[in-house]
Amino acid sequence: MLIKLFGRIRGMTATGSSGGGDSGRQLLNHAEAGVKVRKNVLWLTLAASMFMLAGAATFFLRGRLLAPPEHIILSLYGSDSLGDELMPKLAEAFLRDELGAKKTGITVKGKDSKGHFHLHVWGKVPGRRALQVVDIYATGSGAAFKCLAAEGGPDYCDIGMSSRPINDLDRRQYPALLNLGDPTTEHVVALDGIAIIVNPLNPVSQLSIPQLRAIYEGQIRNWSEVGGERSPIELYGRDRNSGTFEMFTERVMGKDYVAGDRAAIVPPERQIGDSGLIVDAVMRSPNAIGYVSSSLIKGAKALMISDGDSPPLRPTELAVSTEDYPICRRLLLYDWGDPGSLVNAFIRYVTSKPGQAVVAQTPFVGLTPRVFPVVPPMHAPPAYKKIAKGYSRIGLSFHYSSAQTVAEEDGNGQLDNLARVNVLRLRTFLAQHSGTGNDILVIGFADLVEGRIPSEHFAHQRAESVASELRAI
């Protein structure tokens, strides 16, 4: 029947006869009408689509054309420890407080393959059509020195962010940085401790620096060797471009340590660029150990760390602010020290009282002096315990430059960059609290150095030099 029906329609169409042929023509007419309708619908659909696309394009272009232009006033490249949270908050506050921005915000301009964000911190400043932008790109401390050595182009920046001090290797790699690092070009903006974290189920509560070094060199591979369960140790670490890795290497592995075959003890897949991912990994495994900024510990367990004869300490606010915690670090900004410039104004802002009030709202430790109750360590010398009963502790310390020479054996060695600023901060603190230099006790400490002035005498002279500065109030 299907064949017969097919032949019948063809016959009716071909012969043009009446009767059944009329029915065939009607079918064809309906078919032709259907084709026309479909064509019309198609054209209408295409027209509607074109209209919608045109509308969307117009909206997009209109948004682009009407969006205020951006004017980059400062660029900061370097450490993600500073660039992920601390500097964006400080940049917003600077735009509001110093430039008078009525509205501020943060725009993500991009993200690289390692997950590092490129941020524009912007502010709407009255009288200026363009958004005033602070450009922040945090890929690691090494980028801070690369950008400051650049004479222009995409690698150039105004301020370098670093979570470790500039070193001789940086200066050899970038000869233009030979004079970078003096008090006019190096600025401490906050303090941080590198926490050694384990899973909360791990019974180990403390490690010494030599034990930690042996773990990361592969000499200690089982938790039972440091008082834990009989389980293999799973190592996690930061990627080698980060300042956290470099500071951990210097403070734990030693300044003369060269990252070579021994560093490969941490598998490449566990050398992670994001501290948050290290915390996540440690929380998943009871055998894991890692190191992160003390501001990022979250639910992990931070171990107490001891160095030499000193008591074991956790990275508490007091231990970090006094830099007593063995793996403490300074968060640094570097610039070329141009007085009167916008760069200089930004540096002054973030290191002064308004900027430090912003730092206090972050997990990092600020530089404003604070008073803490004294809790002497269990094994502290009796003389120290006796002193502690009558005093509180101000969260400041005065460190001397590590580059001491034989000529400085008279005890008049130079205070380092942060210590010089701390003298001024303590003066201000005492003046605001109606105090004088006679209201505080300065205690000196020094390591015993063979063949040099006895350490007790050396420590006393250093304490006296700081006390003399404070008596000048």
Cross-strand partners of 35: none
Question: What confidence tier does 17 reach under pLDDT thresholds 50, 70, 90?
Answer: very low
Mean pLDDT in residue range 283-291: 96
Mean pLDDT in residue range 91-97: 98
Looking up tokens 């000196």, which residue turns up? 444
Structure tokens at 131: 């958004």
Q: Does 82 or 415 have the greater pLDDT score?
A: 82
pLDDT of residue 387: 79
Mean pLDDT in residue range 348-360: 95
pLDDT of residue 67: 67
For the four alpha carbons of 111, 282, 245 and 361, in that order, the dihedral sign comes to positive
User: Would the pLDDT of 377 be above 50?
Assistant: yes
Mean pLDDT in residue range 194-198: 96
Question: What confidence tier does 214 reach under pLDDT thresholds 50, 70, 90?
Answer: very high
Q: Does 308 or 241 have the greater pLDDT score?
A: 308
Structure tokens at 386: 């006796």
The packing angle between helices 417-432 and 455-471, to 10°, is 50
pLDDT of residue 400: 83
DSSP state of 463: H
User: Would the pLDDT of 56 be above 80?
Assistant: no
Structure tokens at 26: 């009607």
Q: b/e map of 169-178 (b: 16 or more CB within 10 Å)?
A: ebbeebeebe
pLDDT of residue 278: 94
User: Would the pLDDT of 348 be above 50?
Assistant: yes
The packing angle between helices 342-351 and 86-97, to 10°, is 110
Q: Is 432 helix (H, G, I), strand (E, B) or coil?
A: helix
Mean pLDDT in residue range 54-79: 70
pLDDT of residue 32: 47
Mean pLDDT in residue range 297-302: 94
Structure tokens at 246: 């470099």
Name the pTM for this structure: 0.74
User: Would the pLDDT of 269 be above 50?
Assistant: yes
pLDDT of residue 115: 77
Query: Which residues make Cβ contacts (< 8 Å) with residue 176, sequence separation at least 6?
Result: 148, 149, 151
Of 274, 460, 428, the residue nearest 353 (C-alpha): 428
User: Would the pLDDT of 64 be above 70?
Assistant: no
User: Would the pLDDT of 411 be above 90?
Assistant: no
User: Would the pLDDT of 460 be above 70?
Assistant: yes
Pairing of strands 117-124, 131-138: antiparallel
Mean pLDDT in residue range 230-242: 90
Q: Long-range contacts: 426-433, Cβ < 8 Å, 24+? A: 426/369, 426/394, 426/396, 426/470, 427/470, 427/472, 427/473, 429/368, 429/369, 429/394, 430/470, 430/473, 431/473
One-letter amino acid identity for 424?
L
pLDDT of residue 84: 87
CB 161 within 8 A of CB 82: yes
| Residue-wise pLDDT tens digits, 430-456 | 888 776 555 788 888 776 654 555 667
State how far the alpha carbon of 440 is from the alpha carbons of 383, 393, 446, in Å: 17, 10, 20
State how far the alpha carbon of 176 is from the alpha carbons of 138, 171, 172, 180, 242, in Å: 22, 7, 9, 8, 22
pLDDT of residue 40: 54
Question: What confidence tier does 410 reach under pLDDT thresholds 50, 70, 90?
Answer: very low
pLDDT of residue 408: 44
Query: Which residues make Cβ contacts (< 8 Å) with residue 71, sequence separation at least 6?
Result: 128, 130, 131, 132, 133
Structure tokens at 341: 């410039």
pLDDT of residue 234: 96
User: Would the pLDDT of 268 be above 50?
Assistant: yes
Query: Which residues make Cβ contacts (< 8 Å) with residue 310, sequence separation at least 6?
Result: 324, 326
Region for residue 272 given its phi and psi (left: phi exceeds 0; alpha: psi -120 to 50; beta: otherwise)? beta
CB 436 within 8 A of CB 402: no
Question: What confidence tier does 111 reach under pLDDT thresholds 50, 70, 90?
Answer: confident
Q: Give the range among 156-160, 214-218, 243-247 with minimum mean pLDDT.
A: 243-247
